[in-house]
Amino acid sequence: MNIEEAIRTRRSIGRVKKDPVDRALIEKLLDAAVWAPSHHNTQPWSFIVMTGEGRGRLAEGYARVSAAAVPELSGQALEDRLAKERTKAYRSPVVIAAVCSPSEDPRAVLEEELAATQAAVQNLLLAAHANGLGAIWRSGDPMYHPLMSDTFGLAVQDQIVGFIYLGYPDMTPPEPKRVPATAKTVWLV
């Protein structure tokens, strides 16, 4: 598959099979991710790969964040809510947390470091698609909560930029809908 085909046919795949994904294939995706551009070649990304019982760390992160959001809840109601939150970590056989660890280079700008890490995620998504995997980039409030960062032992300056859920597709990709580039482009000549 050439790069233009991969870009045009990649879709967010939210339902994947429970089949395990070979570690060598995951490493291949991560190798593609690290070829993203970064200002001053800071390469601010890192990845936490969770498979099998390793997804339990993410499950606990979801539960901790959820419990903090409803301090008035207790007993069975709380346990039911936390159980529901924990299941989110097991929606795919592989979950990759993409983390931005900003460089100490004085020329580094946080927004550029985040953009570089996000570009690495896009490389990972394209590589997953090109290798027959389905993936979805998930974010949301729990990802940004300090308790989630604490769950993974991240440094204060580190930021999670996404959880990439991946596996073998178990759904038909949705039809693409895009506004043409011409509608979003201004030419200054």
Query: Is 46 in a helix, a strand, or coil?
Result: strand
Residue 54 has a pLDDT of 97
Query: Which pLDDT score, from 0 to 100, does residue 158 have?
Result: 98
Per-residue pLDDT at 76: 94
| Residue stretches of the annotated binding site | 10-12, 39, 137-139
Q: Which residues contact 51 (CB under 8 A, 6 or more apart)?
A: 20, 21, 26, 93, 94, 95
Binding residues for FMN: 10-12, 39, 137-139
In the chain, where are the structural domains located?
A: 3-171
* Weakly modelled stretches of the chain, pLDDT under 70: none
Are the CB atoms for 143 and 65 separated by under 8 Å?
no
pLDDT of residue 1: 84
Helices and strands in the chain: count of H runs, count of E runs: 7, 4
Tell me the CATH class for 3-171.
alpha beta
**Which segments of the chain are extended strands (E)?**
45-51, 94-100, 134-138, 159-167
pLDDT of 81 reads: 95
